[in-house]
Amino acid sequence: MKKEQLLRTKPVESILKDLHQHPELMEGEIHADLHGKLSRKLKVRDLVGFGIAAIVGAGIFSTIGKAAFNGGPGISLLFIFTAVACAFSALCYAEFASRIPVSGSAYTYAYASFGELAAWIIGWDLLMEYAIGNIAVAISWSDYFTSFLRGFNIHLPLWATMDFLTAYRGFNAGDATSDAYQAWANAPQIGGLHLVLDLPALMIVFFITYLVYRGIHESRTASNMMVLLKLCVIFMVIVIGAFYINPDNWHPFLPNGMSGVMKGVSAVFFAYIGFDAISTTAEECENPQRDLPLGMMYSLIICTVLYVTLSLVLTGLVSYTELNVGDPLAFVFERLGMPWISGIVAFSAIIAMASVLLVFQMGQPRIWMSMSRDGLLPRKFAQIHPKFHTPSFATIVTGCLVAIPALFMNLTEVTDLTSIGTLFAFVLVNAGILILDERNNIPRGKFSVPYINGKYIVPVLVVAIFVGWYALSPDGFTDFFTKGNNWNELKHKLPFWLFMFLAIYTAIRAFVKSYSLIPVLGLLSCFYLMTELGWTNWLRFLIWLIIGLVIYIFYGYNHSKLRHLNTK
């Protein structure tokens, strides 16, 4: 296995040539004909709809409550900071999408900038992001759906609406009054195995997978309808809630300091995941080089305004100490004696999360398809349905990989892993733009990241970060470098050590190479957010990447079309 082959990039010209002149690469086993192509039907408004559909979901309807509980009203600052970090990445995604209007998202972009090994790593990472992210959304959807049914006095068996891990741990905790204990105790058994299954999660994944399988037209129509409904409900919540705000609830604004706010990184960032999924629809856009950048930026701006406004309204209606609940929007209005609004919110949450599932289930098969075209996965994954013009086999596999784990896993286990995977993708996309900028032989698209010379700004900014850290917390600064030398303490510092190394290295490179400021800011801000997700999530993420590396060594490397082309 030669280093040159692992790092060999796929030229942008080759990627575009494969798309336009060799449609058989898009079809797997199907012969080249009109039935093997994806349908170009998406416009800017459809992409904005998909973006909002993906972003506004489980994050705003469930995880925002826990984030507000930890950070207080100041959580609105984290929404702004996270939005800025995402905006830097969105600009870089937009430039890539304009330069390389091909399905595959960050995987294809990495292939063109970093090389095959990095492309495989990011492709494998994206599979985790979309699959595990959708597992989390399916679980949240199930919780809201069962709560909605209970409002009509329809009660499903607890063992049929709860994941296996939660029930098992609840039973071992010994609290006989808890739902988890009752679910385990009353579950049917087969050979001593308790059948505790989240059946509503399975149901919604199968339905959405069928919708995505049928075609982009059906997916677009369903997405636009669901987006319109949930935007109306969120606007209603903001307008009605504004009349019941008690400003005293905003004091103190940072009850647990910035450390409390940063505890919500995973939950808040999870609320923004999704805008990058738009880039997987490049081959289904009427004018991808123009429309993809606009779709990403418009959807991100709209959702940021909604999130910041909603977080302030939410923490103004009740004390932040009461928001550690799974359905915060419904809870606050029930708390204020308006259960009818709670019912509307619960129904809109069902619709909102279904739309998130739709976009992610649409995005993941197109990643598989792109990897299959390059030979890194079996050809079957690139097969396009002759009637529906969708990656049919990859869509079915995606549905199974999301539906089955959703039966058994709980929300806590998957949310953080989704966030770290997405942030890693953002880091590579930002870095990829810096690499492409150094290569003058790569054609530019209709959109480019605005160039601001970071030659002096980046080094000054990095120095300011360390000086500000010492000025705000001299004891914390000193303790970080002098205490905790045993492994149990040192391992929790490793992510931040990596960040410091990356920041210093990037500052030096920026000074030498006059790097563009925006990709650098996106790179550093996203990597910093990764450090806030804890050692456990880093370890799980590394294990996932190692599994992917083993698959690449034994299959992808040997079947790579780029490798065989270069050999010839």
Residues 344, 345, 348, 353, Cα dihedral to 10°: -160
User: Which whole number is the average pLDDT over 47-57?
Assistant: 80
d(CA 106, CA 559): 21
Q: Tokens 């987006």: give the residue.
A: 227
Give the rounded percent of residues in the chain with a pLDDT score beyond 90: 9
Residue 522 CB neighbour total at 10 angstroms: 28
Give the pLDDT of residue 78: 83
Look at residues 144, 71, 130 and name the one whose alpha carbon lies nearest to residue 273.
Answer: 130
Residue 211 has a pLDDT of: 85
Under the banding of pLDDT at 50, 70 and 90, the label for residue 460 is very high
Q: Considering the chain, what percentage of its residues have pLDDT values greater than 70?
A: 87
Q: What is the average pLDDT score of the chain?
A: 81
Give the mean pLDDT of 396-403: 88
Model confidence band, residue 527 (pLDDT cutoffs 50, 70, 90): very high
Q: What is the pLDDT of residue 30?
A: 33
Interval 339-385: pLDDT, tens: 777 778 878 888 878 888 887 788 788 888 888 888 888 888 888 88
Selected residue with higher pLDDT from 539 and 221: 539
Paired strand residues for 516 = 453
Backbone angles phi, psi at 512, to 5 degrees: -75, -40
Helices (H), 151-244: 164-173, 179-186, 199-214, 216-242
415 or 515, which is more confident?
Answer: 515
413: confidence class by pLDDT, cuts 50, 70, 90: low
- Reported residue count of the chain is 568
Q: State the pLDDT at residue 129.
A: 76
pLDDT reported for residue 417:
74
pLDDT tens, 55-80?
877 667 767 787 888 888 888 888 88
Three-state SS for 231-261 is: HHHHHHHHHHHHCCCCHHHHCCCCCCHHHHH
Given a cut of 60, whether residue 138 has pLDDT beyond it is yes
Q: What is the mean pLDDT of residues 395-405?
A: 87
**What element of type H or E holds 189?**
strand 189-190
Q: What is the pLDDT of residue 27?
A: 36
pLDDT confidence of residue 31:
35
Tens digits of residue pLDDT in 249-306: 998 888 888 778 877 776 677 667 777 777 777 777 878 778 888 888 888 888 888 8
* Separation of first and last alpha carbons in the chain: 16
Distances in Å between the alpha carbon of 77 and those of 94, 238, 348? 25, 18, 26
The answer to whether 278 and 106 are in contact (CB under 8 A) is: no
Q: Are 274 and 24 in contact (CB under 8 A)?
A: no
Give the side-chain half-sphere CA count within 13 A for 173: 15
DSSP-derived secondary structure for 251-292: -SSSTTHHHHHHTTHHHHHHHHTTGGGGGGGGGGBSSHHHHH
In tens, the pLDDT along 3-34 reads 555 566 766 666 666 655 444 333 333 333 33
Which pLDDT value is given to residue 414?
65
pLDDT score, position 561? 80
Answer yes or no: is pLDDT of 411 > 70: no
User: Distance between CA atoms of 437 and 109, rounded to whole angstroms?
Assistant: 13
pLDDT band at 458 (very low <50, low <70, confident <90, very high): very high
Across the range 139-152, mean pLDDT stands at 80
Residue 357 near residue 205 (C-beta atoms within 8 A):
yes
